[in-house]
Amino acid sequence: MAKKILVVDDEKLIVKGIRFSLEQEGMEVDCAYDGEEAYEAIKNNDYDIILLDVMLPKLNGFEVCQSVREFSDVPIIMLTAKGDDMDKILGLEYGADDYITKPFNILEVKARIKAIMRRSSRGGNSVKKTDGFVEFGELKVDYEGRRVFVEDVEQNLTAKEFDLLELLMNNQGKVYSRESLLNTVWGYDYLGDVRTVDVHVRRLREKIESEPSNPKYIHTKWGVGYYFKA
């Protein structure tokens, strides 16, 4: 089945170029040109990936991303202005999985999309599967359903947050550097920086830790990286 992608940008020439390139790869592409149109499209359709520009009329990309995260963990790649580090960090804070800096090479866009699709098609990647829940105290994880519960309350994790938790949980005690996590969880030679990992770890702690500043599960090995230990 063809993968379905929503491309959101108010610059119609950019949308046209991305759409043409992705359709050449056999993907099904919908387009939206402002934030409200994008939000309605996402509510009413099942997409595999969203390409979402930051600067949009009516609702900006951050607002769309934040609203979508209230009901969906669909992978979102933000399109940000060149050199605007604040846009990149804010995008991650609002729940984006990745970002691409404008102007971009369409080959980079396709590589990012394919990397996310490879991970999605493996449905949890090279980790042990179980029919039941894996439990660590009040933390329960359902690998098959990609669902996470804390004290029986389901937490709305993004795709990348779940991938990160899954990797660390299935390699308890192993310390991963930020660079290693970028290459493993993001699935390609990542062009961003290690702050991407730090933001995702912080968001993940806020969702699964009772005291994020004093974590029980995801620990920091200072000067090295992160590891899971219950």
CATH numbers and ranges of domains, the chain: 4-121 (3.40.50.2300), 134-228 (1.10.10.10)
Helix and strand element counts for the chain (H, E)? 8, 12
Q: What is the pLDDT of residue 50?
A: 96
Contact 154, 136 (CB under 8 A): no
Phi, psi (deg, nearest 5) at residue 155: -105, 135
Tokens 């595999």 — which residue?
A: 48
123 by Cβ neighbours in 10 Å (0-12 / 13-18 / 19+) ranks as: exposed
Q: How far is it, in rounded angstroms, from Cα 197 to Cα 189? A: 14
- The pLDDT of residue 127 is 35
CA distances from residue 142 to 5, 40, 155 in whole angstroms, order as listed: 27, 30, 12
| CB atoms closer than 10 angstroms to residue 191 | 15
- The pTM of the full predicted model, rounded to 2 decimals, is 0.65
Ranges of the chain with pLDDT below 50: 122-131
Can you give the pLDDT at residue 220?
93
Question: What integer pLDDT is reported at residue 11 of this predicted model?
Answer: 93
Residue 208: what pLDDT? 93
- What is the helix, strand, coil percentage profile of the chain, to 5? 40, 20, 40
Cα 186 from chain centre: 9
3-state secondary structure of 187: coil
Residue of 143, 180, 171 whose CA lies nearest to 227: 171
Q: Compute, in degrees rounded to 10, the torsion defined by CA atoms 19, 22, 26, 32.
A: -40
* pLDDT (0 to 100) of residue 230: 75
Q: What are φ and ψ of residue 226, in 5° steps? A: -125, 155
Q: Which residues contact 184 (CB under 8 A, 6 or more apart)?
A: 167, 176
